[in-house]
């Protein structure tokens, strides 16, 4: 590894790449800007360099911008396309080799590789993604929701028994309202 930061001014591109690589490694290990600065410039560093904490933060920002560029939608689509092409080629080669070696165990190994590549291809294309299923009633009308409540014994009382039960409930409520406990709460 080269010694970084011996002169003033802009660092050469190779030195800048090496420095950002070291910063990225430290950043991925969970260190913050001040800790990265200390790791690069402190006495415990095997190759201490001259760098301010502000410069470390600027390099961290550049590293994070690089991550964002690598993770952009276009880049991800290009990577997905490349992975699909590689999986298709793997399926093609493994299938043909399996056919050539059909009478030996080697053919079975190629067949297994082809099946795994086909599985990977299906995953890359999103064929295992859950599908949305919409339920509807007859002629695509919304489903009606019917609730059936459990029977209650009071629903099966005769009208005179129901009246007696309600009179008793009213008497109990009036008695509760006239108790001294409720009067004290009202005064307080």
User: What's the Cα-to-Cα distance from 104 to each of 12, 46, 59, 99, 185, rounded to whole Å?
Assistant: 57, 55, 56, 10, 93
What was the pLDDT predicted at 50? Answer: 87
> What pLDDT, in 10s, does the model give residues 127-180?
888 877 777 777 778 777 777 777 777 778 888 998 999 999 999 999 988 877
What was the pLDDT predicted at 84? Answer: 93
What was the pLDDT predicted at 5? Answer: 46
Q: How confident is the model at residue 188 (pLDDT cuts 50, 70, 90)?
A: low
What was the pLDDT predicted at 3? Answer: 45
> What pLDDT, in 10s, does the model give residues 38-67?
999 988 888 888 899 999 999 999 999 988
Q: How confident is the model at residue 1 (pLDDT cuts 50, 70, 90)?
A: very low
Q: What is the mean pLDDT of residues 55-84?
A: 89
**Phi and psi for 37 in degrees, rounded to 5?**
-60, -45
Mean pLDDT (the chain) is 85
Q: How confident is the model at residue 68 (pLDDT cuts 50, 70, 90)?
A: confident
- pLDDT at 4 exceeding the cut of 70: no
What was the pLDDT predicted at 183? Answer: 54
Distance (Å, whole) CA 99 – CA 174: 92
Look up the pTM and report it: 0.41
């Amino acid at each position: 590894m080269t010694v970084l930061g011996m002169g003033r001014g802009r660092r050469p591109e190779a030195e800048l790449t090496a420095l950002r690589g070291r910063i990225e490694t430290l950043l991925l290990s969970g260190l913050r800007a001040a800790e990265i600065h200390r790791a690069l410039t402190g006495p415990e560093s095997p190759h201490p360099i001259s760098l301010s904490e502000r410069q470390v933060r600027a390099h961290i920002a550049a590293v994070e911008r690089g991550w964002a560029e690598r993770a952009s939608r276009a880049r991800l689509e290009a990577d997905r396309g490349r992975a699909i092409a590689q999986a298709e080629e793997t399926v093609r080669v493994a299938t043909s080799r399996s056919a050539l070696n059909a009478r030996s165990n080697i053919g079975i190994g190629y067949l297994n590789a082809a099946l795994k590549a086909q599985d990977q291809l299906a995953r890359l294309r999103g064929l295992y993604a859950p599908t949305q299923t919409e339920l509807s009633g007859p002629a695509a009308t919304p489903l009606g929701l019917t609730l059936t409540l459990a029977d209650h014994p009071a629903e099966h009382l005769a009208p005179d028994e129901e009246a007696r039960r309600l009179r008793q409930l009213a008497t109990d409520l009036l008695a509760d309202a006239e108790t001294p406990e409720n009067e004290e709460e009202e005064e307080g």
